Amino acid sequence: MSDAEKGEGGRFGWLSGRRKRSIEEVILMLLCTLSIPSILPFGIYRLVQRNWLSAAVDMALVLAMLAVIVHVWRTGRHRVASFCVTLAYSAGMLVTVYLRGVSLVYWVYPTMIACYFVLRPGVAVAINSGSLVGLVAILAPQLEVLNLMTIVVTVGLVNLFAYIFSHRTGEQNKALHTEVELDFLTGVGNRRSLDRKLADHADERRPHLASCLLLLDLDHFKQVNDRYGHAAGDRALVRLCEVMRLHTRATDRLFRYGGEEFAIIANGAALLAASRLAENLRAAVASTCLIDGHPLTISIGVAAMDKRTAPADWLMQADKMLYAAKQGGRNAVRVADAVAPSDYAQGA
């Protein structure tokens, strides 16, 4: 992937603040940026017209959008900001219709569609339903029933279509994610997904707990394939992943690194805790029947995901430890630096 694609440097690096940004952040900032030239001219016009209240609403919205852009740009936090932006949009739209009458009802449609860009479809539909109730309350005294019904039905249809589109896109994204990021055989993350998670961890801006990387490899697995066939070997790999799931926490992430080699990101686990996890896992596999009549063991290398070094270094460290575990006779755990053997013996 090129620098420009990563958003971390390259020709367009300045656009993303030379930091990798999530698509949600970019969409939110783009939406707010586009809102400013859409609203500002009306605010200025109303100022010139001395229509103070309407001008104040427009200017407040412009300032709110500016504040959100700065906040998301600096912190990268977009969830709460997305929610606040849609609430501000919706409130601004209702106040505008209240102040200026039905002629401004056209703003309702883009405002409501914008919600689906930054929020989950269910949340967007809930906010827009509330706005529709408010809109009816505002317009009911001014409009004939038929006109009011036309607005309600068209707003309802716009929301229905936007909801269906947004929901379908979400489902397609999930399916795509499964195709692209999960290992077909075992259902754990694949190598691509591991690389992405490691990069995410390196980019994590919030202060976070220590985490560790475990690389594990089945010992003498070739013998299984040779003796029982590839299909039996596949079943053993699936079974190994079940054991890994059983012995890891919901926050830990499992990956197939390649062939009969797997990786675990032990989130929030420092070296000592990760080495305990590795030892438990090693013991669990040794005492589990992955394949009938053939005891199988694993070797594990553990390394800290130290933010001072790069993901490639974490992988290299863990791989070195895995190699050491293999060289030491297999069915073993080796932990990089930091943890002295005595610490480990006490913790195990």
What residues are labeled active site?
A: 260
Q: What does the buried/exposed string (b/e) look like for 240-270 if buried means 16 or more CB atoms within 10 Å of the residue's CB?
A: bbebbeebbeeebbbbbbeebbbbbbbbebe
Shortest gap between Cβ of 290 and ligand GTP (angstroms)? Answer: 12
**Residue from 43, 76, 92, 233 that binds ligand GTP (CB under 6 A)?**
233
**Residue from 18, 205, 220, 307 that binds ligand GTP (CB under 6 A)?**
220
Q: Is 234 one of the binding residues for ligand GTP (CB under 6 A)?
A: yes
Task: Give 25 or 219: the residue with its C-beta nearer to ligand GTP.
Answer: 219
SS3 call for 84: helix
Strands 298-304 and 333-335: parallel
Q: Is 221 one of the binding residues for ligand GTP (CB under 6 A)?
A: yes
Task: Give 112 or 218: the residue with its C-beta nearer to ligand GTP.
Answer: 218
**Residue from 219, 252, 279, 319 that binds ligand GTP (CB under 6 A)?**
219
Shortest gap between Cβ of 186 and ligand GTP (angstroms)? Answer: 9
Site string for ligand GTP, 325-344 (x = CB under 6 A): -x---x--------------
Structure token digits, residue 97: 């219709």
Strands 261-266 and 333-335: unpaired
Site string for ligand GTP, 143-182 (x = CB under 6 A): ----------------------------------------
Nearest Cα neighbor of 296 from 344, 232, 245, 345 is 232
Nearest Cα neighbor of 109 from 168, 39, 45, 157 is 157
Q: Is 230 one of the binding residues for ligand GTP (CB under 6 A)?
A: yes
Residue with structure tokens 């209702």?
A: 94
Q: Is 260 one of the binding residues for ligand GTP (CB under 6 A)?
A: yes
Count of residues near ligand GTP by CB under 6 A: 16
Exposed (0-12), middle (13-18) or buried (19+): which is 43, by Cβ within 10 Å?
A: buried
H or E stretch at 80? helix 79-100
Shortest gap between Cβ of 314 and ligand GTP (angstroms)? Answer: 21
Task: Give 72 or 240: the residue with its C-beta nearer to ligand GTP.
Answer: 240
CA dihedral angle for residue 132, residue 133, residue 137, residue 139, rounded to 10 degrees: 20
SS3 call for 217: strand
Task: Give the binding range for ligand GTP (CB under 6 A) out of 1-9, 113-121, 144-152, 213-221.
Answer: 213-221
Task: Give 238 or 246: the residue with its C-beta nearer to ligand GTP.
Answer: 238
Q: Is 225 one of the binding residues for ligand GTP (CB under 6 A)?
A: yes
Shortest gap between Cβ of 255 and ligand GTP (angstroms)? Answer: 14
Quote the Cα angle for 214-219-220, to 5°.
Answer: 150
- Binding interface with ligand GTP (CB under 6 A): 185, 217-222, 225, 230, 233-234, 237, 259-260, 326, 330
